[in-house]
Structure 1
């Protein structure tokens, strides 16, 4: 359980949550499997994968897991059966089947097939660091992160958060690629995406490329901005920073991941606890560094 993507949010006012109270609140929205006619269900699940404890706390950081189950009923299957049904009716009656009748037939087919459909489970992990006024969601897409936040907001009644970056950091990343203001603890790796500003939608994607090469600098001089940039940070992690401060392809270095290798493999809960404490601590440190580096205060 190592986060691979980060959506970062700032609490706009302090939030006080008692662990027992929070557990009770989450227990009002527990995950339940899909019923025979459910297309999807979503609710809180045990972060450690077992038991009824719907949160896990390490060093004051609260780990939560949102579980979603979906029934997989491909539209091609439904439409193929509908076509067969419509053809049979039209052959029998000699009259075309209207749109309303076809829609009713389609709902009947879905109702009959849905209980037989396979299910797919997905998990969205996140944590709250209340002392840092920070909420972190392991999600690559805004929609997935917003579903996590909305479900949590419904559970606890209020969740006053805003994205950590409410402006584009593309100009900052562009300056870095020009060699200006790169922090001492940051290494620019060999991957970036440059986009033209204005109405020109041209995009240049670079991979395994010397970003200091003349052809890259020519794109910058022509007015393109850096919207994605791969970095290594503080010998701790590598990641792709996007212009909205989304973090993708997050990877922790062996310096970090090996710190808990002395915990026996059969002590799974202890290993998960230690890994979460270590990982979340580094993510908070990274997030606060990003906030300071790009000057993303409450009024940014």
Structure 2
């Protein structure tokens, strides 16, 4: 089990807890399905189907956790159609105008009527807690989903002193210079994909894939003021990914060598494989994070 995305968070205080402490803290916030009149539910689930009721998996000095969200699917166009029908009926039968406040009340009634028949959408988000390194790594493509998991973690633990990391040099400026100078930080190698954006509100966006990122055409875009906000990179011949200017990482892929190593270590026992994958994920995150910070002038200490 490998993360497809990486959003790093830094603890602002020293934190130390055991698996048993986490299991106890999570017990009051386990996922349970939506009741008939509920729109959504969110809670902890086992990070692997083979773990039964265990909500924490410990390996490599890290704790793997997973939250699950259930949302009832109520199409907006269906609600709108039923609302229009009900408004038309009232206005026709009672010869009066239905105003906004009453429409909102009618809409709530329609939602309540539809909820018992609505389909559910389930979505899981995982994270790796690395308390000894002072890090939390969330597997999410956007910060909103990551914050949902972190809020649940905060409610479970009672406190969660974390921040997003900050660096001394602008990632967009530095990544732009990597293309201009054909020289990057040690360990990082640009691939053939990037996104450039003009920092002004009126500026446009250019997406490039499969072309030479160091060509005269690319440099010309940089000369007009555009900056690299997303850049495909290979790191240490271990991982490839898309790095964004907010330091979040998407589309993580393992190198052939690392994939082969993990396959050699694999077992038919799913928990043995999970242990191997989680330990290696923890190791690579511990190595990647400081190098990522150093590439942009070092982490701002707060």
Band of TM-score, shorter chain: over 0.9
Q: Quote the Cα distance in structure 1 between the aligned partners of 2:296 and 2:212.
A: 24
Deviations, residues 245-296 of structure 1 (Å, cap 9, x unaligned): 1111111122112323246764222222222222232122112211222233
Deviation of residue 236 (structure 1)?
0.8
Aligned position for 1:215: 217
Tell me, yes or no, if structure 1 residue 143 matches structure 2 residue 175.
Answer: no
Q: How does 1:158-169 map to 2 (within 5 A)?
A: 158-165=159-166, 168-169=170-171
**3-state DSSP class of the match of 1:121?**
strand
Deviations, residues 177-199 of structure 1 (Å, cap 9, x unaligned): 12264134322111111222345
Q: Quote the Cα distance in structure 2 between the aligned partners of 1:223 and 1:296.
A: 25
CA pair 221-82 structure 1, distance change in 2 beyond 3 A: closer
Deviations, residues 162-182 of structure 1 (Å, cap 9, x unaligned): 112356311111121122641
Tell me, yes or no, if structure 1 residue 82 matches structure 2 residue 56.
Answer: no
Q: CA RMSD in A?
A: 1.9
Aligned position for 1:119: 120
Aligned position for 2:244: 242
Q: Quote the Cα distance in structure 2 between the aligned partners of 1:128 and 1:283.
A: 11
Q: Quote the Cα distance in structure 1 between the aligned partners of 2:190 and 2:100.
A: 57
**3-state DSSP class of the match of 2:70?**
strand
Farther off after superposition, 59-68 or 275-284: 275-284
Aligned position for 1:70: 71
Deviations, residues 73-125 of structure 1 (Å, cap 9, x unaligned): 11111111122222233333333333333322222211111011000110111
Q: TM-score, normalised by structure 2?
A: 0.92
Aligned position for 2:234: 232
Aligned position for 1:98: 99
CA pair 125-88 structure 1, distance change in 2 beyond 3 A: same
Deviations, residues 29-82 of structure 1 (Å, cap 9, x unaligned): 111111111111101111123422111110111111111110001111111112
Aligned position for 2:10: 10
Farther off after superposition, 98-107 or 152-161: 98-107
Gaps of 5+ in 1: none
Task: Work out whether residues 5 and 138 of structure 1, in 8 Å CA contact, stay in contact via their aligned partners in 2.
Answer: yes
